A and B are shown apart, each in its own frame.
Chain A
Amino acid sequence: MKHALSLKIGPASFRIGSAWRQPVEALARLYADYPTPVDEVADFTVRLEPAGLFRRWFRPSIYITGDHGLADAAPMSLAHGLLAAEMGMNLQMALGWRRHLLLHASSVEKDGRALVMTGESGSGKSTLAAQLGERGWRLMGDEFALLDLATGAVFPFPRLVSLKNGAIDVLAAEASPARMGPLLAGTAKGDIRHLIPRSEAVGRMGEGALPALLLFPRFGHEADIRTVGQGEVFMRLTQASTNYVALGEPGFAALTPFVKNVPARAIDFPSGDDAVALVERLWEELA
């Protein structure tokens, strides 16, 4: 394709091609400190193509495709090209990654052990991981946690953190402006700004950690902590995994020790600061 870039994020490498210059330039700036794959065939290709014959120039509209694609994916405006590239990479991981059990979860690490947080979109798991990543924890990822099939360790996938709506100002107050991406206003999920993880998160992106605590956060409710039975944990984690079924027995063998051995709690919280305090307390008590 006309414009292209290679990236390595955690264990996965990507080749991103685009019909337009802008999305690749934005990626190159935000991923400048990430390693560049050398002489390596990328695990995945992502292509940002014009949605129609003239859509490269006339009301430019991006169709996201690659090794794996969704037939009914809605085209996106060129102004949201950076988001399209990020979604393209997420899509490849969600549909194609087989080397780990992939959990739709955020994760952070402290003292060699990992905290994993999973929940639906809007639950606050991404914002909470980003906040912890600014306050002494190592951010491992805001979107995917990779559970090693042999060792049970969680491995990082520290892509850019995707901050949405209210979370943008919360993190902009903590992180330096140089680590913030452009404001992408009016996307399907509202306003979005990307945050470059701290250099430690990028530098140690090959380093896994054994999971020590699992949380199901829920933002916007009175503070509450609830124990979650192992059956419910198993069900919610299989729902949160995009490749549990595809992996077969190795997926079962990797997930069941996680469910049996890692303490799990559902936490409700009214604000980010409340959540950070709650997490620190539970980590002290349970991890």
Chain B
Amino acid sequence: MPRRYCQDSPDAIASCVLEDMVLLYHRPSGQTHMVISPVPEILATLEEGAALTAGEVHVELTRLYDPGPAEEAVPQVEAHLAELTTLGLVRIA
């Protein structure tokens, strides 16, 4: 079974878009993360309580962007989700 990922909690993150990156303030840990594309876009697919697999996140991304063919993009999305899980911004559902 592929892993499903969700945001830490609905109001866990305050974000601020700068010219060249996005700042994410993680309320539970008090840490500020500086991220660039495609991390903000991946996190956006997990809003409103969504719990998605890396493949489903990729499908959501294709609605708005061109993340490339699934066989290459899905492992990259999975790697980003694993990193975000380590940071505490995302949890395994």
Contacts and interface: CB of A to CB of B under 8 A. Distances in A.
A252 B25 CA distance: 7
B32 A231 contact: no
Contacts of B14: 249, 252-253
Given A249-B25, A252-B14, A252-B25, A229 B20 contact: yes
Contacts of A234: 18, 23, 34
A231 B27 contact: no
B34 A252 contact: no
A235 B34 CA distance: 9
B87 to A, nearest CB: 16
A230 interface: yes
B34 A230 contact: no
A128 B44 CA distance: 45
Nearest to B36: A231
B69 interface: no
Contacts of B20: 229-231
Given A234-B23, A252-B25, A260 B32 contact: no
Contacts of A131: none
Interface in B1-56: 14, 16, 18-21, 23, 25, 27, 30, 32, 34
B19 A238 contact: no
Interface string A237-258: 0100000010011001100100
A259 interface: yes
Contact of B18 (A230, A245, A253): A230
Contacts of B23: 234, 252, 256
Contact of A230 (B19, B25, B27): B19
Contacts of A259: 18
A14 B18 CA distance: 38
B19 A231 contact: yes
Interface in A154-194: none
A230 B36 CA distance: 13
B27 to A, nearest CB: 6
A249 B24 CA distance: 11
A259 B32 CA distance: 14
B34 A248 contact: no
Contacts of A238: 32
A238 B21 CA distance: 15
Given A234-B23, A249-B25, A252-B25, A260 B18 contact: yes
B21 A231 contact: yes
A249 B27 contact: yes
B16 A256 contact: yes
A260 to B, nearest CB: 7
The 7 closest A-B pairs by CB, nearest first: A230-B18, A256-B16, A252-B25, A231-B21, A230-B19, A231-B20, A229-B20
Interface of A: 229-231, 234-235, 238, 245, 248-249, 252-253, 256, 259-260
Interface of B: 14, 16, 18-21, 23, 25, 27, 30, 32, 34
Given A230-B21, A249-B27, A253-B14, 9 more contacts: A229-B19, A230-B18, A231-B34, A234-B18, A234-B34, A238-B32, A249-B30, A252-B16, A260-B18
